[in-house]
Amino acid sequence: MATANVTKIDYYEVLSVSRDASDQELKTAYRKLAMQYHPDRNPDNPAAEDKFKECSEAYQVLSDAEKRAAYDRYGHAAFQGGGPAAGGNPFAGGGFGGAQDLGDIFGDLFGEMFNMGGQKKASRVQRGRDLRYDMTLGFEEAVFGKEQEITIRRMETCDDCKGTGAPSGKAPITCTQCGGRGQVRFQQGFFSVARTCSVCNGTGTLVVDPCKTCRGETRVQKEHTILVKVPAGVEQDTRIRYSGEGETGKFGGPAGDLYVVLNVKAHKFFERDGDDLHCVLPISFPQAALGTELEIETLEGAATIKIPEGTQNGKEFKLRGKGVPHLNSHGKGDLIVEIRVSTPGKLTKVQRELLKQLGETMTVENTPTSRGLFEKVKDIFS
């Protein structure tokens, strides 16, 4: 009886790719054909099932570097009995039950030791990204605290597909490349090693008809409003963390966090040093010499400061409790007022005569004196 001579179609033609196609091009072509001819989408269609098996066989060979090299050199003969790719194992046909059996034994042993040969699927669960929001505050708002609603844009679970990536009522199909295991075994010498399936990325499933709303991404971008509570006493670049207010995770993964980063505007009068406030108060020479009481503005209203007679330029006075509230604690810093004796630039004739008379009654020995090591160092770094 005569045997029919069946000629197999070239694997590159089956996938409709060129012979120098990259791994990604092969993968893309195969996924397109697999979705087109999958039996679940073509029930009771033997022709489609044959095409599906044909493209799966072609991809299984061309996606493996060693098998592809053998196929490029010998064609389909590389995988027939006695071919270069089929007869290279010295244990084949021996008393060990065949190369595949021995490979499975070693593969399972090394899989337990090094997690190389296990059948565990790669988890699809992914944590959502953390988000940052830059918020600008006035000086007083940072000192006394503030509540403000902000609106952010973040990725959230698609309402139409409920985060599956597939339309309602259509669950993802089992990956045909790995059979839903998430891993593909290949032979390396007499060891059987498992690697993550390149078609489903280790998930074991494929989305045949992607959700039209999220295009299979399982999430869509939405606006979200949140109330930010800024506590009293925050400083420039303070970060406020809101757990779980970042982007929604994929496939049931936890959400990321939201970080609100504060930018505090400068004050026209006060400078901040930790929880203390500093300011400069100009006074006249008579006020410094004779002493006086002055009213000065603080962040909480007016306060009185007493300048004793003979106050020198640069003298500092401390108003306790008039500074910034301690963050997440009780008490406040201080307000430190530096006296700056102001010398008039222009004098009237009367003022000049009066100062001249005063000068004749006062004598100062104009002899240079050492400022001391401390003052010199202070000047160097000021």
Binding site, annotated residues for Zn(2+): 158, 161, 175, 178, 197, 200, 211, 214
Strand partners, 147: 229
- Please state the φ and ψ torsions of residue 354, each to the nearest 5 degrees: -65, -40
Cα-based angle 77, 80, 85 (whole degrees, multiple of 5):
80
Among residues 6, 21, 4, which one has the least CA distance to residue 71?
Answer: 21
| Rounded Cα gap, residues 177 and 166, in angstroms | 20
Residue 260 β-bridge partners: 133, 240
Query: How buried is residue 279: exposed, middle or buried, by Cβ count under 10 Å (0-12/13-18/19+)?
Result: middle
- Residue 369 tokens, joined: 């004196």
* DSSP tag of 130: P
Bridge partners for 307 per DSSP: 292
Q: What angle do CA 167, 168, 169 make, to 5 degrees?
A: 110
301 DSSP β-pair partners? 298
Identify the three-state secondary structure at position 73.
helix
Residue position matching structure tokens 């089992």? 174
Which segments are annotated as binding site? 158, 161, 175, 178, 197, 200, 211, 214
Q: How many residues does the chain have?
A: 382
| Residues 57, 175, 25: CA angle, nearest 5 degrees | 60
- First-to-last C-alpha distance (Å) of the chain: 107
Closest CA to 245 of 164, 159, 328, 153: 153
CB proximity list for 334: less than 8 A, separation 6 or greater: 276, 277, 318, 319, 320, 321, 322, 323
Nearest residue to 340 via CA among 312, 310, 304: 312
How far apart, in whole angstroms, are the C-alpha atoms of residue 30 and residue 197? Answer: 13
Q: CA 97, 99, 101 angle in degrees (round to 5)?
A: 55
